[in-house]
Structure 1
Amino acid sequence: MKKLAKKLNKYIDHTLLKPEASLNDIRNLCQEALEHDFASVCVNSYFVKECNEILKDSDVKVCTVVGFPLGASTSETKVAEISQALSDGATEIDMVLNISAFKSSDYDYVINDMKKCKAAVGDKVLKVILETSLLNDKEIKKACELAKEAKVDFVKTSTGFNGGGATVHHIKIMKAAVGNDMCIKASGGVKTRQDAIDMIVVGADRIGTSGGVQIVKGEANERPY
């Protein structure tokens, strides 16, 4: 088996995006991230300030989502979300591709949407969620090529909210499309330690999951994301 470039915990974006998440749930998420030294927590923007306060003296990053989960908000709306998130302390942004524009073959809009978001993010990290469950293999490759042209930092598989998550097959397509020029995040449906390792071996640089604790302990993650 291919050796991991770093410890498994540092691949994990410890995630809680369900709409009913409470402030106490988020505080527990942050404490778990500190205990296991995860790469980041990934939360809805309402919680960014709280997470930043809890994690400010650690190297656990604060990630939030933009245009989530449909991607169909305007570029201006996404940029406004990014600006507020950065002001509140986010250091990574996971933005949803405009899937409607992409399916309409309006590739100029898709590229410009990503470029505007990257400009707003600046030197922070921008990940673009492709929602691979809604795309065929050819479309996944094309979306990766557009993201590469827009010079974003990561392509990411899924929101976990639209009928499917990451697969090894999808990661292979994404890796072939972006090579070593961009990073890849596998998210949604990563249930076990072996699932995570399988994704990493074929090209994933991050794993987005609500079951990070279970995965690093070698237990099954029964949560949906």
Structure 2
Amino acid sequence: MQDFTYHDVSKMIDHSLLNPTLCVADLESGIELAIAYDVASVCIMPYHLRRCAELLAGTDVQPSTTIGFPHGGHTTAIKRAEASRAVDDGCQELDMVINISKTLSGDWDYVQQDIAAVIEVAHAADRKVKVIFENCYLRDDQKIRLCTICTDLKADWVKTSTGYGTGGATHDDLKLMRQHSGDHVQVKAAGGVRDLDALLAVRELGVTRCGASRTAEMMDQARQRLGLPTIDVKASGSAGY
């Protein structure tokens, strides 16, 4: 007897369509795959967000996109404008990258104001925000400080990484983020979770979302273990985290 249901795991997945070499056909087929597997969201390049929201209308899959991605070095004004445009284009969840340079410089006032700008736009429109730390570049004390800031600002998730840094989600980082974030802040893993067992392992650590490009493989494994019929979806190029 498995200790999870299909939706316990499918609704953890943000299907990633962020690789810059994906063409429109790849994005469209990736959205179809996400609908077929009934995941939590599609995280898509901003230019295709409006189309993504149209295709997801009437489904239980949310349209999501990125802000300040992947390096976080955009000015706060640009991140705010990106967030506003994402809301206008139908985004329900925004994955924003902190200013990594300012974090490493210890300019915490700037970092907090930068995060707050996106959260203010999103929450005013009843949208949710995932704040990406890019932990591979940070010390533990910096990660903890970011968790405190995100807790104070009422971020909806703290997230390990973009998937485009030098490392992805580690169990140590996920434990640290869960320990130092408020109960109202969820934790998202991104980078390195590539099969069902890995997904179940981070779930045990308190992770509620996971950025994934190998959605079909993970969900096929889940369906097989649960004795569910196979889903036949052919989606090309769903590379990302």
With the length of structure 2 as denominator, give the TM-score of the two structures: 0.88
1:165 match: 168
1:192-216 Cα deviation digits (max 9, x unpaired): 1111111111011101111111111
Which segment is superposed worse, 198-207 or 132-141? Answer: 132-141
Instruction: Output the amino acid matched with 1:72.
Output: G
CA contact (8 A) 1:130 1:155 kept: yes
CA contact (8 A) 1:13 1:40 kept: yes
1:35 match: 36
Task: State the alpha-carbon separation in 2 of the partners of residues 86 and 25 from structure 1.
Answer: 23
CA contact (8 A) 2:15 2:39 kept: yes
- Stretches of structure 1 lacking an aligned partner (at least 5 in a row): none
1:146–1:5 distance in 2 versus 1, CA, 3 Å: farther
CA contact (8 A) 2:17 2:240 kept: no
Q: Secondary structure at the match of 1:205?
A: strand
Q: Secondary structure at the match of 1:155?
A: strand
2:187 match: 184
Instruction: Output the amino acid matched with 1:89.
Output: G
CA contact (8 A) 2:160 2:190 kept: yes
> If you compute each CA radius of gyration, which structure gives the higher value, 1 or 2?
2
Task: State the alpha-carbon separation in 1 of the partners of residues 239 and 94 from structure 2.
Answer: 23
Which segment is superposed worse, 155-164 or 5-14? Answer: 5-14
Task: State the alpha-carbon separation in 1 of the partners of residues 22 and 90 from structure 2.
Answer: 20
CA contact (8 A) 2:136 2:168 kept: yes
RMSD (Å), alpha carbons: 1.9
Task: State the alpha-carbon separation in 1 of the partners of residues 7 and 148 from structure 2.
Answer: 27
1:121-168 Cα deviation digits (max 9, x unpaired): 122001100001111222211111111122211100100111111111
Alignment of 1:149-160 (within 5 A): 149-160=152-163
Instruction: Give the deviation of 1:83 after TM superposition.
Output: 0.9
Instruction: Output the amino acid matched with 2:105.
Output: S
1:4–1:135 distance in 2 versus 1, CA, 3 Å: farther
CA contact (8 A) 2:18 2:240 kept: no
Q: Secondary structure at the match of 1:198?
A: helix
Task: State the alpha-carbon separation in 2 of the partners of residues 207 and 100 from structure 1.
Answer: 25
CA contact (8 A) 2:130 2:156 kept: yes
Instruction: Output the amino acid matched with 1:86.
Output: V
Q: Secondary structure at the match of 1:218?
A: helix
Q: Which has the higher contact order (CA 8 A, sep 6+)?
A: 2
1:146 match: 149
Instruction: Output the amino acid matched with 1:135.
Output: L
1:4–1:170 distance in 2 versus 1, CA, 3 Å: farther
Length, aligned pairs only = 223
Task: State the alpha-carbon separation in 2 of the partners of residues 71 and 184 from structure 1.
Answer: 19
- Stretches of structure 2 lacking an aligned partner (at least 5 in a row): 223-237
Runs ≥4 residues deviating over 4 A: 1-6
2:94 match: 93
